[in-house]
Amino acid sequence: MLEYTSVLKSRPFLYLELKKAAQLKIQGLDEKEIKYKAIEENIFAVNTETRKKEIASTVINRIEELDMYILDKIVNGSLQTSKQLALYSILKTDRLFFEFMKEVYREKILLKDSIITDKNFNIFFRRKAEQSEQIANWKDYTLYKLKQVYKRVLSEAGFIKNSKKEIEIIPQIMEAEVIEYLKDKGDILYLEVMLGEI
């Protein structure tokens, strides 16, 4: 089982970077070569060495969870499908984000309640802090940043509409072929988290 991390706060959606790395993987480059390109050729166009390494590490971590079919859909699929699968890569690599999506986002869909409030975030993080000493030791600022990043990731992925006052869930329509593929792969749990029900 994945450990809890707060790494998403500094390495959020990274959609374009993931897409670029997926393209390189499809072209036959391995993770080592992609990392080299990220650091030595600065393919993600960032300013510092530290940032180059952070982004390379995160993006490689995500693409390692994806097979060629999914990588191809990220690179060549519709924008909606591509972004859904980019979010899927985060769900596969970030336990806390996955649990948020399962316990808050999906629950809201099942209850036909399309609004996620700050209170929902706060209750979720408080519950997690009660269950995990690691999260209990995080500073309030870390949780605040995670809340902001979760909103940003979901907004960039097209899963929510974020206004100043509230967050509205945008129900997802996913290609039937992709749904069947993920089901056959045994990833029904991730589908349910993204779609609510299948």
Domain assignment of residue 1, yes or no: no
Domain assignment of residue 58, yes or no: yes
Q: CA-to-CA distance for 83 and 152, rounded, in angstroms?
A: 13
Average pLDDT on 127-156 reads 93
Residue range 102-128, pLDDT digits in tens: 999 999 999 999 999 999 999 999 999
Domain assignment of residue 2, yes or no: no
User: 1 pLDDT band (50/70/90 cuts)?
Assistant: low
Res 165 pLDDT > 80: no
Domain assignment of residue 120, yes or no: yes
User: 82 pLDDT band (50/70/90 cuts)?
Assistant: very high
Give me the CATH number covering residue 64.
1.10.3540.10
Domain assignment of residue 73, yes or no: yes
Q: What's the pLDDT score for residue 121?
A: 95
Domain assignment of residue 48, yes or no: yes
Number of domains observed in the structure of the chain = 1
User: 11 pLDDT band (50/70/90 cuts)?
Assistant: confident
Closest CA to 68 of 24, 25, 29: 25
Domain assignment of residue 77, yes or no: yes
Tokens for 33? 């070569």
Average pLDDT on 145-174 reads 92
**Max CA-CA distance within the chain?**
49
Q: What's the pLDDT score for residue 34?
A: 92
**Residue 173 belongs to domain spanning:** 8-195
Q: What's the pLDDT score for residue 48?
A: 86
Res 10 pLDDT > 70: no
Q: CA-to-CA distance for 38 and 172, rounded, in angstroms?
A: 32
Q: What's the pLDDT score for residue 60?
A: 94
The predicted model scores a pTM of 0.93
Domain assignment of residue 153, yes or no: yes
Q: What is the dihedral of CA 21, 24, 28, 30, to 10 degrees?
A: -40
Residue range 24-70, pLDDT digits in tens: 999 999 999 999 888 888 888 888 888 888 888 999 999 999 999 99
Q: What number of other Cβ atoms are within 10 A of residue 6's Cβ?
A: 17
